[in-house]
Every structure is written in C-alpha cells, then in structure tokens.
Amino acid sequence: MPGLVHVETTINGNQVNFLCEPRQSLLECLRDVLGMTGTKEGCNDGNCGACTVLMDGRIVTSCLVLAVEAQGKELTTIEGIASAEGLHPVQQAFLENASLQCGICTPGFIVATKALLDREPDADEGRIRHWLAGNLCRCTGYDKIVRAVLDAEEKMKS
Amino acid sequence: MVANQVLSEVEYRVVGKRPIRPDGVDKVTGRAQYGSDLRLTGTLQAKILRSPHAHAKIKSIDTSLAEAHPGVRAVITGKDLPLSAKLANAAPGEISDSDRQRMGFQANNFLAGDKVLYKGHAVAAVAAVDSNSAEAALALIKVEYEELPPVINVKDAMGEGSALLHENLHTSSLGETSEKPSNVASYMLFEKGDVEQGFSQSDIVIEREYETASVHQGYIEPHTATAHWNADGQLNIWCSTQGSFVVRATTSEVLQYPISKIKVTPMEIGGGFGGKVTCYQEPVVAVLSKKTGQPVKLVMSRTEVFEASGPAPGSWMRVKLGANKDGKLISGKVTLAFEAGAFPGSPVLPGSTCSLACYDVPNGLNEAYDVVVNKPKTAAYRAPGSPQAAFAVESVVDELCQELNMDPIEFRLLNASKEGTRKVEGPVFGKIGLIECLEAARNHEHYKTPLTGVNQARGIAAGFWMNRGFHSSCNITVNQDGTVNLTMGSVDIGGTRASISQQAAETLGIEYADVKPTIVDTDSIGYTMVTGGSRTSFATGWAAILASEDVKQQMRERASKIWETSVDDIEYKDGVISHQSDPELQFTFAELARQLNGTGGTVTGQANVDPSGEGNSFGVHLVDVEVDRDTGKTTVLRYTAIQDVGKAVHPSYVEGQMQGGAVQGIGWALNEEYFFNDNGHMMNSSFLDYRMPTALDLPMIDTVIVEVANPGHPYGVRGVGEVPIVPPLPAVASAVSRAIGVRMQKLPVTPGSILEALW
Amino acid sequence: MEAIDYTAPKTLDEALKVMADHGDRARVLAGGTDLLVQLRGGRRSADIVVDSKFIPELNELSYDAQKGLTIGAAVPCCTIYEDQTVEANYPGLTDCASLIGSIQIQGRATIGGNLCNAAPSADSIPSIIALGGVANVVGPNGARQVAAEDFCTAPGRSVLEPGELLVSISLPAPQAHSGANYLRFIPRNEMDIAVAGVGSSVILDASGQNFVSGRIALASVAPTPVFSKAAGDSLAGKPVSEATINEASEKAMADAKPITDMRGTIKQRVHLVGVLTRRTLNTAVKRARGEE
C-alpha cells in the first residue's frame, strides 16, 4: 500500500500543504482533506464541470486531476474569486441576472467564466456558449447564465 | 435577443420586483452548505451493494467477510430495517393484506427483501472508516441470486405470458381486485359524455400510438444523507431533500421510531425537480448510525443516481381525437400505460387528468394503466405524467391542424378550456389564462417571423399542470430594529426564499431587505409539505401572508396599549401604524419595533395553512428547429415560452422556471433516454451518454409572463414551476415532424430515429 | 479506486526504468481524462501511474518547414490549438484538438494520450492518419516508429509493449496545395463520443482543379480507427468534382464495418461516413485552395 504523499501547492494565493494518497483526486482533497467544499462533485468523471478549478491559468475538472499533480501549481477555486473588497464582477453579475437557482453548478460556472473573460473580454454569445459547454446546469436552461457573462463583460470594462 | 415580457395586470410595491435572492451571495462564493458539504467528527462513509440483475430471487446473503474487513464498522441488509422485521414477525391477521403490501414495497426499495427488481436495487449497506474501505467491503459480500426473466417493456409487462414482478400484486380496477396476479397494478377510467357517439359525429378522426422512454430529472447534485443516532436516542438527519417532513415521516415508518425523536435538517439542495421528494437513503444511514454509534454519511455516485433513484416513466399511449370540419373538437379518448418501475405508483393518473385539460371537448374518456417493470421505481419529475400525455395529445392535435389546414393557434383558441370548462374527470375550471397565453403567442414577434430555411419548421404546443395547496407553516418575529425574521420549512429549490420574503414584505409594508428568511429543521417549524407541486410560492406564501397579518394585528394591539386607545381606532397601512383621527399618534414599523421590548416583549406572527384556492397553470411554447436531413441532427433555432403565472412574485425567478423547464423538455424530446439492453441493464448511466442539453445546444429561451390573477390568492399567485416542461415535448416533436414531413411518434427524436424516418 | 503509486520522472531514461520495473502494471499518466475514469471503473488496472508531463521530449511542440511538426505525447490539446503555427499549417489537427471533450478536458487531454488510449472513437486519430502521422516510440529495445494507421490493434489496445512509451507524433511538413479537415457526428454539439468521424487530407495540383492524392481515415466504425486507403487512392489524378468526391465517399463507406450499439446503428454509421467524407473532402479542398 503506497504511503501518503506530501503535496505543496498554492491555492487562492496561499501556500498550502497537505497529505494525500496518490489515488485521491484533487476534488476529493480540496473537499475532504482541506475542507474547501465550494468546489462540487456532480459526476466524478469530467462530464458536468461542477468541479471546475483553475490550474496554472487553465480551467480543469478537478475530479480528473490527481491531488499529487497539484504539486507546485497555482490553483484558484471558487473560494478565491471574491476579494476583501467584495464580490468579483462575475459573481455580482450572476446575482443581478438571477443566473442561479439551486446553485450547485454555480461555483463551476463562475470559475469557468472568470477564466474566459480574463482571456477574451469581448467574447460573444456563441463563444460564451462554446466555452461553457463543459458546465452542465439543469435549473436555468443557461439563458440567464449567458446574460450574466455578457453583463460581467460590461462591468469589467468600467 | 428579444426582451422577456411581463404582461402585468396589477402592480405591487415589492411583489413583482426583482431583488437579489437572500441566499445568493453564499451560492456564488461556494459557502452554501449542501448535503455532502456537512462535516461531523467521526463520520463513517457508507456504500450500498446493488443488484447486478434486473430481476432475481435472493437465495442468500453472506456478509461475514465484509464485517471482518478492518475498516468496516457495520453491514446491514433488508432484514435490519425495523419495518421489514415487523412485517416478518407480525402475527397472522395483525396487518391487513393491503397494508402489508404497501409497507413491504416501501421497505424493499430501501433494501431488497427476497427479490431484486431492477439492476441497481439496493441489497446491502456498509459503513466504514473511509469510502475506499467501504467499496472494498462491498466486494466481500456474497449474494446468491436466482435470475429471473426481466420484464422491461410496458406492453410486454401487460401481456398474458409475462413474468410477474410481485406474486401478490393484483390489478385494482374500478373498485374491484383482479383474481389473478398481474404486473398491472391499477386500471383507472373516467369519462364525460359519450366518446363513441362523438367520434361517429366527427368529420375527421385521428388515432395514433405514442411511446416515450425513461428519462431522469438530471439534478447535478447526487442524493446525500447523513444520520447521527445519538446516545440519547435522538436521531438527527441532514439530507438533500425537497421535503424534510416527508423524510421524517418515512424514516419514522421504516424505523418504527417516533417522529418526536427524529429531527431532519434539510441542507441546501442542488436540484430536485421532484426526484428528491422520495427518500432513498435516510433510514439506511440511520440504522447504520445506530449500529455503530457514529454519524454515517451516504452520497450516491452519478451511476447510482441514474440506476437507483427515481426516473420518470417510459410510456405507451394511444390517443384518438375527433373534430368537425371547422376544427371544433367533439370527442377525445386517451389511453395511457406508464411504467411504474419495480413498485406500483407511476403518475399515470395525473398524466390522465392533464391530457385533455387544454381543451373544452364535450366527450372525453381517459383510461390509465399503472404497470410494474424491472426498472428503478419511478419518482416525480416536474408535472409528473403531463409531459408524456401532452406529447401524445398535442401531436394528434398538430396532425388535425395539418389535415384541416388550420393554424395551430386558431385551432387551440377555438377549443381552449376557459372558466367554466369541465374537465373529463369532473373539476370545473375557475379563472384561467390559457386563452390569454394563446393570444400572447399569436401576437408575439416570434410567431410573426417567417422561417428562412428549407429544412426549418415551427412547432407549437400547449400544456397544463394543476397546482397544489397543502400544508405550510410560517413564523415571523419582529426584531428591535424593525427587521423581521421569517422562518419556514420549505426548502428553496428555485428562489422561493425571495418570493416568500417579498410576499411578507408586501403585506407588512416594509422593505424586502428587512425580511430575513431562514429555512429551518423539522423541530423548529410546523408541518410543511414538500417543495414541489408548484405549491411553494402559493402555499408557503399564503402562510407568510397570514403570519404577516398576525404581526400587523399584534402591532396594532401594541400601539393601542402604548397610546391607551382602542385597537379599533388604529390603522396599519403601508408599514405605518397610526391613529385614525389623531395625526400625532403614528409609528413607522421600525419605530414601533424599537418599543416592543419595553412594552411587553417582541411580536411573533404565526400561520399554519392548508389553502384551497390554488390556481391551474397553462403554458404555450413556440419552437423553431432546423433538421439536417443528411445527419438527422436537430438544431433548436429559436424558443419562446409563454405562461400564465397569475402574478409573478419575482419575475426573474419565474422566467428561470420557464426557461429551465423548457430546456429539460427539449432534452427529453431530442436526446435524453435510458438505454436498456435485453437484460434490463441501463447502458448509459453517466452524463457522457445520458445526453442533457449543454449551453452550446440551445438558443436564448425567450419568455412571456401572462398574468391572469388567481382569485384564490391575495396576490393572484399561481404555481409556476412545473408547466414549463410540458409543452416542449410536443412542440419540438411537431416542429421536427413538420420539418421532415414524417410524424414522429416516439421520444426521443434522436438523429438516428430521424434518419430512420426519412429512409 | 484501488490503491496506486505515483511517480513523476524528470527524464526519459527515468521513465523507461520505472516502466521496465513494473511492466504492464505501470500506466502512463498524461492528461488523465481517460485513464482516471478507467482506473476508477475497473476497466484498467495499475500498481503505479507514471506522470509523463515532466519529461522534456514529451513536451516538445516544434515545427520545421522541412521536417514538419513534432507533437510531444504530453502536450495538451489546448496548447495545440492555441499555437498559431499549428493552426496555420495543420488545421486538420486543430479541428480535432478542439473537439475532444470540453474546454476543461482540452486543458488536460493530450493527442498522445488519445492515440495510446486507442479507442475506435478517438477523435484525433483519423486526422493523424490522414496527415501521414508517425508515432515515435521508445522502449527497452530502443526507439521505433509506427505509422499512425498501424498503431491501434483492438479497442483500447495498441502496439505498445510493456515498458514502451510514446514520446511524440511526427506529422510531415504540409505540401503546397494541401488541406485537411476532421468532422465527427454527435447528437449534441459538444461532449459526446463520436457516432462516426472522418479525417480527410488532400493534395491538389497547382491549378487547384485536380487531386494529386488523398488520405481518408474513419472513427467509430470498426474495432480500431480505419485507414480507408481505397477511398483516398480513388482521388489520385481525378478532377475535383462532386462525382470524384462521391466515389471516394462510397469507398469509405465500404471500408466502414461498424456495430450497432446505443450510440448508433450500422446503417446510420455507414451513412454518416458517406456524409462526413463528402463534407471533409469539400473543406479540405477549400483549405488546399487557400479559400478557408
């Protein structure tokens, strides 16, 4: 039985250390080892996007990343999106546009949206839908989510 | 993008506005606590051993090796459920046959009795120190099965030679019980007028058969439950549920344990759509917790959610409609046979009562078959039964329109149900808004915009769902600063914290921001029925309104005490308490609130309701599609959902219900289905091959909120949550049928089935 | 999931040593988007996963106008389609890199992994075959090259022996007047496994009016990706026309030997091969002519 591995990583700007088994996913360690339950599990096989986090600037499904692979990486989770000054414009846009109902998919969408707008601040509806196709929502039908992303673009410009 | 419209009759101060929901910040920051986010010291992880067979007898179960695993703390099977034990040990005659059957069915879906009835049926449960140990332990449990032929098709199940799921299930039919056992649990019939005479009087009669496949509600959060059986005998349960009191009652029954000793705390819920009204885990984790003395947590995997929770039933349906040459419907006969799954109880009856509800047809007949098959026991899914029935009926209506060369909206306007229309099964409609919805559809820019491509077509359909009242309880306590704490038992699945707070704020005449809503556990509020049935904004809203009226009355009484005048001289208007003749005597709500502790103590208003006066919901949807005839691929080009909501308390969340339900319906129509192989095994139990719509598969979903106020509610509220899933099935199917020139009679209308239709 | 060990070798030699030590109980971990699902589902088994992402040769993405493109086996899809040189010279490759899974999956999944996973439905393999790709393999017995069309041997199985590692895939430099395209058919617009897929690559003469040669490969219609040599060969020397393209599509359909399963029937899949061959050839021609 392989021993526990010591992982050193950066999460939301903070140095974090934890022990884990090699078989544990990053999702499992975020939630169960580090108590960071904002990232959600919907399917555990990369098909719903609820577990989306940023890893070295790219969105990934954390259920398909081994926790040991986070060694030396920079991670951003939903807990790191807001700042001391307040909510991120993407979060504010989701609230104002009523873009969440049950909210279970919302952390994944917000992290994915932030990643998009940091790279493509003028993404149009088609590009937004394409970028977010890996995030499933069953409550909203996506309409108000897309509107929130477009609204967030406006907010981030001003 | 066309702006969403609200066709409003009455304006209010808070009701009808779009404030930010109270739980929103927690949800966008990841702080909201859902069932599997719960952390209790010493929690054991549970896993379920599930049947690999769709139909088999259990000859023996040997759990000894699993119990010996060093990480395992307890293993249980069906006999460890107190309800099962009670049934096994009851003296002859102590329990009636019908009770025995009902209780057996209930217990056996938690953990199987002597048979497994679907692949995924729970057979044993393990609690271990971590999930890997629990998983390893499952492999150590030895179950000996005797396989039986699986019954996986509703028509086969109804046939004479079919294997039987339950030796003691007889058909209950119009007050009689069949002599021989059957897979048909019940047959129901109701009629109005004389349908055969009606058909003979019709100029045109169309009769068709329709089929739909099993589909899942598709909530992104799997079922989760944690139980802690404390050393003092108090059982605490935290779970993802639409109804904490249902969990309490079910757990009480299955554990044969008093409800006073059970407290259920509903966690934030990640989607339900009806599928989390049913319990799957709570009694199981409770028994494991009792055996181990520790909290036990169980989270379903996505595969388990598909295979072992409660999908919506597949169906076989036959519809016959007769009309005269001017398009007036004369006669309608609807036969529905729904797959209940392993145990009786499909929504074939509500499906039947919805099937002809949109039409004022003089002669109507509904017959309904509830049929068991070797598939997971079905559960509610948003307007249960109505989508399937609407697919069948609205498709025949669409064919009638084509035959008569009649505009589909004009046909529906000619035949629409209205106030005074009597439904086939008896109830008479009060004030309803179907005609207003049809007119809004006819006036909509979408309807007036011609299609532009050769393989494009438009589908239109109407849909119906009744609303519910049922029990809700609400407490409102005034704080010294003029804000109020509102507690309720209604789990929030779509924004009802906001809509109920708005109704309270409106009634009290205070600001929305001054109402602080909390959803509390079953010890802290009166009995509250489930969040579902399109009832929450209506009924819990009613409770909040009456509790607010109670607060107002008490505030007036307090002012009368302070001013030493008669309470009859005191008015409460727009949040101001004033003496009707002395202008000096006036308090704002906040000013009077500050005085409460010094004048006798705080004020708490309370109401327990079981309101009647619920409305009915109608929706009309328009969809434009394009079909690629070479590949069979359907693209949804444009979608408009129109619905009478009575009064949209929070229009954004009403729009959200309309859009979300429409998209679920689009998925149901186009790509979602359970694939079963010949052994009755689901082949696609993952989000990869159970294909729900993604953001890239859809256009914007435009909405029109029609408001025909429900006279049975102070603000005119009707239920809104369920109707939106009903019209999309027939609207999309009709659009595709018109695009390819072939009537599609089976759902889902997949690319493969479209190619087959074209060849 | 069963317990596994994890190692992240920093050099190719280190990796080969670990793999030699563990034989078929070692599995290479690149993006992990197939492997982790398979390990959890019990469809593959391992004692140790060998993380390939720190080995310099496997991270190479380089282009040379003579030698062509070298795609390290650990290079993720997103790096491939964001690279302007790749987009300019190998749009047939960026077609598939941007189709696999979602944006999240593309942030991790690799073309090398897609090839080694050897699924018949793999979205990158038809293009790699059509573009004349070669797999560069290294193992205990040294280095060898395997033509992409020979790499997969059965569903989920490749020519890799225990101890062998895919280092990179080489694509020849694009010739003048050449173009390629990959299309797959799925019921939704993203996320699905291909019901059928076709990768086509063509070389036209200087006038752009005639085919010089073509290569066509198919996904999801046989136990392995199919190199439809007859279909590609049928283009040689023929004018670019509907008739020529139809003939090639008929030959591709003849090489399709699918099964009926929950994702599609035999008839549907063979039909789709015809449709997608025509569509990819038409796009490949446009690209070869510089029109797209």
SS3 A96: helix
How confident is the model over B681-714, as pLDDT tens digits? 999 999 999 999 999 999 999 999 999 999 999 9
User: Is residue A1 pLDDT above 80, yes or no?
Assistant: no
C-alpha dihedral sign at A60, A62, A66, A71: positive
Q: Do C122 and C188 share a domain, yes or no?
A: no
Q: Do C71 and C123 share a domain, yes or no?
A: yes
Q: Do A24 and A71 share a domain, yes or no?
A: yes
C262 at the B interface (CB within 8 A)?
yes
B707 at the A interface (CB within 8 A)?
no
Q: Do B500 and B558 share a domain, yes or no?
A: yes
Is residue B205 situated within a structural domain? no
Q: Do A39 and A102 share a domain, yes or no?
A: no
Beta bridge partners of residue C181, listed in sequence order: C200
For chain C, the average pLDDT equals: 97
Domain total for chain A?
A: 2
User: Is residue C224 pLDDT above 70, yes or no?
Assistant: yes
B222 at the A interface (CB within 8 A)?
yes
Q: Do C105 and C158 share a domain, yes or no?
A: yes
Judge whether B697 and B636 are in contact, CB under 8 Å. Answer: yes
Beta bridge partners of residue B739, listed in sequence order: none
CATH number, domain with residue B293 = 3.90.1170.50
* Residue B72, number of CB atoms within 10 A of its CB: 23
Q: Do C84 and C18 share a domain, yes or no?
A: no
Among B562, B583, B609, the domain-final residue is: B609
**A74-76 and A52-55 as β-strands: parallel, antiparallel, unpaired?**
antiparallel
Is residue A84 situated within a structural domain? no
Judge whether B549 and B491 are in contact, CB under 8 Å. Answer: no
Per-residue pLDDT band for B1 (boundaries 50, 70, 90) equals very low
**B616-627 and B456-466 as β-strands: parallel, antiparallel, unpaired?**
antiparallel
CATH number, domain with residue A17 = 3.10.20.30
- C271 neighbourhood in chain B, CB within 8 Å: 755
Q: Rounded mean pLDDT of B87-93?
A: 92
Q: Angle of helix A89-96 relative to helix A143-157, nearest 10 degrees?
A: 140
Question: C252: distance to nearest CA of chain B, Å?
Answer: 16
Among C125, C143, C171, the domain-final residue is: C171
Q: Which candidate in B27, B224, B309, B664 is best for mutational testing of the A interface (most A CBs within 10 A)? A: B27
CATH number, domain with residue C159 = 3.30.465.10
- A55 neighbourhood in chain C, CB within 8 Å: 107
Cβ-based neighbours of B45, under 8 Å, separated by 6 or more:
B127, B128, B129, B130, B131, B133, B134, B296, B297, B298
pTM: 0.98
Q: Say how far apart CA B731 and CA B751 lie, in whole Å.
A: 17
Q: Do C195 and C270 share a domain, yes or no?
A: yes
Cβ-based neighbours of B369, under 8 Å, separated by 6 or more:
B154, B158, B184, B186, B187, B335, B336, B337, B338, B348
A127 at the C interface (CB within 8 A)?
no
Which range marks the domain in which residue B685 is found?
A: 315-467+615-758
Is residue A129 situated within a structural domain? yes
Which range marks the domain in which residue A64 is found?
A: 5-78
Q: Do A74 and A9 share a domain, yes or no?
A: yes
Q: Do C40 and C64 share a domain, yes or no?
A: no
- Which residue is closest to C35 within chain A, CA to CA? A64
User: Is residue B749 pLDDT above 50, yes or no?
Assistant: yes
For chain B, the average pLDDT equals: 96
CATH number, domain with residue A153 = 1.10.150.120
CATH number, domain with residue C41 = 3.30.43
Q: Do B683 and B708 share a domain, yes or no?
A: yes
How confident is the model over B553-584, as pLDDT tens digits? 999 999 999 999 999 999 999 999 999 999 89
Which range marks the domain in which residue C44 is found?
A: 5-51
Q: Say how far apart CA B383 and CA B533 lie, in whole Å.
A: 7
Q: Do A94 and A74 share a domain, yes or no?
A: no
Judge whether C186 and C93 are in contact, CB under 8 Å. Answer: no
Contacting partners of chain C (3+ CB pairs under 8 A): A, B
Judge whether C226 and C256 are in contact, CB under 8 Å. Answer: yes
Q: Do B322 and B458 share a domain, yes or no?
A: yes
Q: Do C250 and C210 share a domain, yes or no?
A: yes
- Which residue is closest to B25 within chain A, CA to CA? A95
Smallest Cα–Cα separation from B221: which of B187, B269, B154?
A: B269
- A129 neighbourhood in chain B, CB within 8 Å: 695-696, 698
Question: A38: distance to nearest CA of chain B, Å?
Answer: 4
User: Is residue B523 pLDDT above 90, yes or no?
Assistant: yes
**B586-588 and B576-579 as β-strands: parallel, antiparallel, unpaired?**
antiparallel
Both tokens assigned to B212? 């739909």
CA dihedral B527, B530, B533, B534 (to 10 degrees): 80
Question: B61: distance to nearest CA of chain A, Å?
Answer: 30
- Report percent pLDDT > 70 for chain B: 100
- C51 neighbourhood in chain A, CB within 8 Å: 69
Q: Do C152 and C248 share a domain, yes or no?
A: no
Domain total for chain C?
A: 3
Q: Residue B330 is which amino acid? A: I
Taking an 8 Å cut-off on Cβ atoms, the answer to whether C103 and A68 are in contact is: no
Is residue A108 situated within a structural domain? yes
User: Is residue A51 pLDDT above 90, yes or no?
Assistant: yes
Q: Rounded mean pLDDT of A136-157?
A: 98
Judge whether B284 and B317 are in contact, CB under 8 Å. Answer: no
Question: B135: distance to nearest CA of chain C, Å?
Answer: 8
Q: Do C167 and C100 share a domain, yes or no?
A: yes
Cα radius of gyration (chain C): 19
In the Cβ-directed half-sphere of B24, how many Cα atoms lie within 13 Å?
21
Q: Rounded mean pLDDT of C160-184?
A: 97
How confident is the model over C4-34, as pLDDT tens digits? 999 999 999 999 999 999 999 999 999 999 9
Q: Say how far apart CA B673 and CA B653 lie, in whole Å.
A: 28
Tell me how far the alpha carbon of residue B289 is from its chain's centroid.
30
Among candidates B631, B684, B694 on the partner chain, residue whose Cβ is nearest the Cβ of C191:
B694
Among B609, B638, B662, the domain-final residue is: B609
Smallest Cα–Cα separation from B515: which of B554, B553, B475, B555?
A: B475
B273 at the A interface (CB within 8 A)?
yes
Is residue C122 situated within a structural domain? yes
Q: Do A63 and A13 share a domain, yes or no?
A: yes
Q: Do A57 and A98 share a domain, yes or no?
A: no
Q: Do B633 and B685 share a domain, yes or no?
A: yes
Q: Do A97 and A70 share a domain, yes or no?
A: no
Cβ-based neighbours of B534, under 8 Å, separated by 6 or more:
B465, B467, B468, B617, B718, B719, B720, B721, B722, B723
Is residue C292 situated within a structural domain? no
What 8-state DSSP symbol labels residue B517? Answer: E
Per-residue pLDDT band for B378 (boundaries 50, 70, 90) equals very high
C-alpha dihedral sign at A54, A60, A62, A67: negative
User: Is residue B9 pLDDT above 90, yes or no?
Assistant: no
Is residue C47 situated within a structural domain? yes
Q: Do A145 and A104 share a domain, yes or no?
A: yes
Among A50, A78, A106, the domain-final residue is: A78
Question: C251: distance to nearest CA of chain A, Å?
Answer: 34
Q: Say how far apart CA C120 and CA C110 lie, in whole Å.
A: 16
- Which residue is closest to C193 within chain A, CA to CA? A47
Judge whether B626 and B739 are in contact, CB under 8 Å. Answer: yes
SS3 B272: coil
Chain B interface with C: residues with Cβ < 8 Å:
132, 630-633, 670-671, 675, 683-684, 688-689, 691, 693-694, 696-697, 750-752, 755-756, 759
Cβ-based neighbours of B599, under 8 Å, separated by 6 or more:
B558, B561, B562
Q: Say how far apart CA B578 and CA B690 lie, in whole Å.
A: 61
Judge whether B747 and B668 are in contact, CB under 8 Å. Answer: yes
How confident is the model over C174-206, as pLDDT tens digits? 999 999 999 999 999 998 999 999 999 999 999
Q: Do A9 and A54 share a domain, yes or no?
A: yes
Q: Do B642 and B585 share a domain, yes or no?
A: no
**Whole-number pLDDT of residue A2:** 81
Q: Do C159 and C224 share a domain, yes or no?
A: no
Is residue A83 situated within a structural domain? no
Query: First CA to last CA across chain C, in angstroms?
Result: 47
What 8-state DSSP symbol labels residue B307? Answer: H
Q: Do B336 and B278 share a domain, yes or no?
A: no
Phi, psi dihedral angles at C6 (to 5 degrees):
-140, 135
Smallest Cα–Cα separation from C185: which of C173, C167, C172, C198?
A: C198
Beta bridge partners of residue B617, listed in sequence order: B465
Q: Do B358 and B443 share a domain, yes or no?
A: yes
Compute CA distances B600 → B557, B596, B597, whole Å.
Answer: 11, 6, 6
- Report percent pLDDT > 90 for chain B: 97
Q: Do B376 and B459 share a domain, yes or no?
A: yes
Among A78, A109, A128, the domain-final residue is: A78
Domain total for chain B?
A: 3
Q: Do B597 and B699 share a domain, yes or no?
A: no
Q: Do C148 and C244 share a domain, yes or no?
A: no
Is residue B11 situated within a structural domain? no
**Whole-number pLDDT of residue A5:** 97
**Whole-number pLDDT of residue B3:** 74
Q: Do B513 and B641 share a domain, yes or no?
A: no
Q: Say how far apart CA B408 and CA A105 lie, in whole Å.
A: 38
Judge whether B459 and B638 are in contact, CB under 8 Å. Answer: no
- Which residue is closest to A39 within chain B, CA to CA? B30
C-alpha dihedral sign at B442, B445, B447, B450: positive
Q: Do A51 and A93 share a domain, yes or no?
A: no
Question: B203-214 burial string, b = 16+ CB within 10 Å, else e?
Answer: eebbebebbbbb
- B682 neighbourhood in chain C, CB within 8 Å: none
Q: Say how far apart CA C122 and CA C101 lie, in whole Å.
A: 11
Is residue B168 situated within a structural domain? no
Taking an 8 Å cut-off on Cβ atoms, the answer to whether C6 and A68 are in contact is: yes
Q: Rounded mean pLDDT of C89-101?
A: 96
Concatenate the DSSP letters of all residues of chain C into one string.
Answer: ----EEE--SSHHHHHHHHHHHGGGEEEESS-TTHHHHHHHTSS--SEEEE-TT-GGGG-EEEETTTEEEEETT-BHHHHHH-HHHHHH-HHHHHHHTTSS-HHHHTT-BHHHHHHHT-TT-SSHHHHHHTT-EEEEEETTEEEEEEHHHHEEETTEESPPTT-EEEEEEEPPPPTTEEEEEEEE-SSSSSPPPSEEEEEEEEE-TTSSBEEEEEEEEESSSSS-EE-HHHHHTTTT-BSSHHHHHHHHHHHHHH-----BTTB-HHHHHHHHHHHHHHHHHHHHHHHTT--
Taking an 8 Å cut-off on Cβ atoms, the answer to whether B755 and C268 are in contact is: yes
What 8-state DSSP symbol labels residue B426? Answer: S
How confident is the model over C36-63, as pLDDT tens digits? 999 999 999 999 999 999 999 999 999 9
Is residue A64 situated within a structural domain? yes
**Whole-number pLDDT of residue B602:** 96
Tell me how far the alpha carbon of residue B62 is from its chain's centroid.
38
Among A78, A97, A128, the domain-final residue is: A78
CATH number, domain with residue C273 = 3.30.390.50
Smallest Cα–Cα separation from B165: which of B313, B304, B315, B340?
A: B340
Q: Do B749 and B622 share a domain, yes or no?
A: yes
Q: Rounded mean pLDDT of C242-269?
A: 97
**Whole-number pLDDT of residue B2:** 57
Judge whether C228 and C218 are in contact, CB under 8 Å. Answer: yes
CA dihedral B528, B531, B534, B535 (to 10 degrees): 20
Taking an 8 Å cut-off on Cβ atoms, the answer to whether B694 and C265 are in contact is: no
Residues 128-187 of C with CB under 8 A from B: 185, 187
**Whole-number pLDDT of residue B590:** 98
Is residue C126 situated within a structural domain? yes
Judge whether C202 and C213 are in contact, CB under 8 Å. Answer: yes
Question: B496: distance to nearest CA of chain A, Å?
Answer: 10
* Residue C99, number of CB atoms within 10 A of its CB: 21
